[in-house]
Amino acid sequence: MLTKFANILPNRRMACRLSVSALMAICALPALAQSDALPKAPEGFEECKLRLQEEAIAAGVSAKTAQDVMTGVKHIDRVIELDRKQPEFTTTFADYLNRRVNDDRVNKGRELIKEHSALLERVTEATGVPAPYLVAFWGLETNFGSYFGKMSVPDSLTTLACDARRSTFFTKQLIAALRIIDEGSIPADQMEGSWAGAMGHVQFMPTVFLKHAVDADGDGKRDLWHSLPDAMMSAGRFLQSMNWDADYRWGREVLLPENFNYSLADGRRLELSKWRDLGITDAFGKRLGQEDIKAALIVPAGHRGPAFLAYHNFKVIMGWNRSEFYAIAVGHLADRIAGAGTLQNPPPEDTSALSRNTILELQAALGERGYDAGKPDGILGPATRSAIRKYQQDKGLIADGFPGQELLDGLEVTHS
C-alpha cells in the first residue's frame, strides 16, 4: 500500500468588551459635563453571557439554542490561566521534532493508511492531498484521534470571549460554535475540545469548521468527533482551499556546500535550478532537478542542523499552523509514513533551549546596536532572526540567524 504514496518523495512533480453594567437612574440630577462623565463599570460574567447570547441570536443562531447553551455555560478559571501562560523556555528544534516524529507514530501512521486505504484514496482523489499528509496532520493534532481535549467548548470560548485580552476573536469562535450546535452537528454537552476551542480529530476551530467541514459519510451531519470520513475529507478540503499543489511535495531535506552563504536562508524563494547552481544537493548528495518550482531555504537549527528547501505546500501547511517547526514536522512525518527514512543530518541535541528572558535580553541588545529585532516580546520570530543575521554578517560570523552561544557571548547576553 505504501508504494502508492511514493510520489510524495523526491523527484516527482508533485471581550469580553467593557460596557455599562447597569443604568444610572439619575434623571433628576443636573446633566454631567462630558469631562465629568462617570467611568464605565466592568462587565460581569453573567452580564457578558447575556450580551453574547443576544449577539449570537443577531448573527442567526436560533433563540432556543443560544438560550439553552448560554444559560448553562460556566466560567473556567483554568482556561484563563492557560491563555495567560507563556512557556518559560523556548523549544529546540531537536526536542520539537523528536517528540512529534518518532518510530511509534510513524508505524501507527502506516498501519492506519492500510486500515483506511479506501477512505484516504477517496479524499486524495477529491482534494489532491496525498494520504500520508492527511495522516500526518491527524497524528500531530490528536495522536490519531486518541485525544481531542476534555474542555467544554462553549464554556472555554465564553470564558475567553468574556476576557478583554482577545474578546473579539473568541466571540466570533463562540458564535460559530453555537451555529454548529444549532445545525445539529453535535449536542452542546458533547462539544469537547482544547482549552482554546479546537475540536475533533483534526482540531478545527469553530470558524474553520463552519467554512470547511463536510458531511462525507452522508448521515446529514458534519461530525468531526465521531466520523473519520467527515474529519479526513474536511482536512483535505481545508488544505485544498489554501491551494494545495497536488503536483509537488512539501519540500525536502538538502545538503549545503562548505562556505555556503547562510544569509540566503532569509525566506527568499528561488527556482530549484538556482539553488542547484549554488551547490545545494539532495540529502544524499545528488544534484537537484531542473524544475522551475520555487523554494525557500530553511535552517531551523542553524548551520549545524538540517537544511530544507520548502516548496509551496510548506506555506499551505503553515496556513494550518503558523509554525515552521510544525510544518517541517508534518512534512517529515508524511515522508516517513510514506516509506522514507530518518533525516540524513538530524538536528543537534546539545543545543540548549533559551528562556524568554534571554530572548528579551537578546532583542534589546540587538536594538541597542542598531539591529531592529522588532518590539521585544521574548519570541524568536522572523524580525529577530533577521536582526541576528545582519549582526552576524557584520561580525563575520555564519549568518544563519540562529542564536548560538557565540552570538550570545558577542552581545553579552546571559544564557539562562
The letter for the amino acid at 256 is L
- What is the rounded average pLDDT of the residues 22-31? 34
CATH number of the domain bearing residue 67: 1.10.8.350
**The pLDDT value given to residue 89:** 77
Contact indicator for 131, 120 with CB cutoff of 8 Å: yes
In total, how many domains does the chain have?
2
Does residue 189 share a domain with residue 54? yes
Report if residue 159 sits inside a domain: yes
3-class secondary-structure state, position 333: helix
**The pLDDT value given to residue 416:** 66
**The pLDDT value given to residue 42:** 55
CB proximity list for 79: less than 8 A, separation 6 or greater: 151, 155, 156, 159, 160, 195
Q: What is the pLDDT of residues 319-357, one digit of tens each?
A: 999 999 999 999 999 999 999 999 999 999 998 899 999
Buried b (16+ CB within 10 A) or exposed e, 61-94: beeebbeebbeebeebeebbeebeeeeeebebbb
Q: Is the pTM of this model over 0.75?
A: yes
88 — pLDDT class (breaks 50, 70, 90): confident
Does residue 231 share a domain with residue 362? no
Report if residue 233 sits inside a domain: yes
Which residue carries 540562529 as its cell?
A: 402
Q: What is the Cα–Cα distance from 226 to 344, expressed in whole angstroms?
A: 39
Q: What is the Cα–Cα distance from 391 to 106, expressed in whole angstroms?
A: 40
**The pLDDT value given to residue 37:** 44
Tell me how crowded residue 373 is: count the other CB atoms within 10 A of its CB: 23
Whole domain around residue 399: which residue ranges? 356-410
Which three cell numbers mark 301?
537549527
Report if residue 123 sits inside a domain: no
- Show which of 241, 257, 272 is a domain's final residue: 241
Q: What is the pLDDT of residues 301-310, one digit of tens each?
A: 999 999 999 9
Does residue 181 share a domain with residue 56? yes
Does residue 219 share a domain with residue 78? yes
The letter for the amino acid at 3 is T
3-class secondary-structure state, position 180: helix
**The pLDDT value given to residue 85:** 85
What DSSP string describes 71-110? HH----HHHHHHHH---SB---HHHHHHHHS-HHHHHHHH
- Show which of 241, 273, 295 is a domain's final residue: 241
Q: What is the pLDDT of residues 353-389, one digit of tens each?
A: 999 999 999 999 999 999 999 999 999 988 999 999 9
**The pLDDT value given to residue 90:** 84
Q: What is the pLDDT of residues 195-236, one digit of tens each?
A: 999 999 999 999 999 999 999 999 999 999 999 999 999 999
5 — pLDDT class (breaks 50, 70, 90): very low
Mean confidence (pLDDT) of the chain: 90
User: How large a percentage of the chain has pLDDT more than 90?
Assistant: 84
